[in-house]
Homo-oligomer: A and B are copies of this chain.
Amino acid sequence: MEKFICTYDNDETKYVQICNHIKNLIKNDELEDGEKLPTIRSLSDFLGVNKITIINAYKKLEQEGYAVSKMGSGTFAKKRDFNISFKRKYSEIFKTYSKEQLSKYIDFTGEVVKGDNFPVDVFKKVLNEVIDRDGAEAFIHQESLGYDGLRKSISNNFWHKSISIDNILIVSGAQQGIDIVSKALIDVNDNVIVEKPTYIGALSVFKWRRANILEVDIMKDGIDINQLEEILKKTKIKCFYVMSYFQNPTGISYSEEKKKRILELAQQYDFYIIEDDYLSELIYNEKLKYKSFKALDHNDRVIYIKSFSKIFLPGIRLGYLIPPKEFKESIISSKVNTDISTSSLMQRALGYYIDEGLWIEYIEKLNCSNKKKYRLLVELINSKLGDYVQCNYPEGGLHIYFTLKSEGMDSVQLFYKCKKKGVLITPGVLFFKNSKDGLKSFRINFSEVTLENIEKGIEVIENVLKHS
Contact = CB atoms under 8 A, between A and B. Distances in A.
Contacts of A363: none
**Oligomer copy total:** 2
Nearest to A309: B340
Contacts of A179: 337-339
Contact of A139 (B123, B140, B188): B123
Contacts of A336: 175, 201, 204
Interface string A342-356: 111110000000000
A95 B315 contact: no
A142 interface: yes
Interface in A52-107: 56, 59, 62-65, 71, 95
A116 interface: yes
A131 interface: yes
Contacts of A205: 337
Interface in A343-376: 343-346
Contacts of A143: 95
Contacts of A176: 338-340
Interface string A323-343: 000000000011011111111
Nearest to A144: B95
A439 interface: no
Contacts of A334: 208
A115 interface: yes
Interface in A361-404: none
B317 A340 contact: yes
B123 A175 contact: no
Contacts of A137: 115
B337 A315 contact: no
Contact of A175 (B183, B208, B340): B340
A149 interface: no
A315 B345 contact: yes
A315 B131 CA distance: 13
How large, as a class, is the contact surface on chain A?
35 or more
B316 A139 contact: yes
Interface string A127-161: 11001000111111111100000000000000000
Contacts of A115: 135-137, 139-140
Contact of A128 (B63, B128, B142, B316): B128
Given A63-B187, A314-B340, A337-B204, A136 B124 contact: no
A73 B141 CA distance: 47
A313 interface: yes
B120 A131 contact: yes
B341 A315 contact: yes
A426 interface: no
A13 interface: yes
Contact of A62 (B63, B175, B208): B63
Contacts of A342: 172, 317
A135 B122 CA distance: 12
A118 interface: yes
A112 interface: yes
Contact of A140 (B65, B114, B201, B345): B114
A343 B421 CA distance: 34
Interface of A: 13, 56, 59, 62-65, 71, 95, 112-116, 118, 120, 123-124, 127-128, 131, 135-144, 172-173, 175-176, 179, 183, 187-189, 201, 204-205, 208, 210, 309, 313-317, 333-334, 336-346
Those 10 A-B pairs whose CB atoms lie nearest each other, nearest first: A315-B344, A115-B136, A176-B339, A139-B313, A139-B315, A343-B343, A172-B339, A141-B314, A118-B136, A140-B315
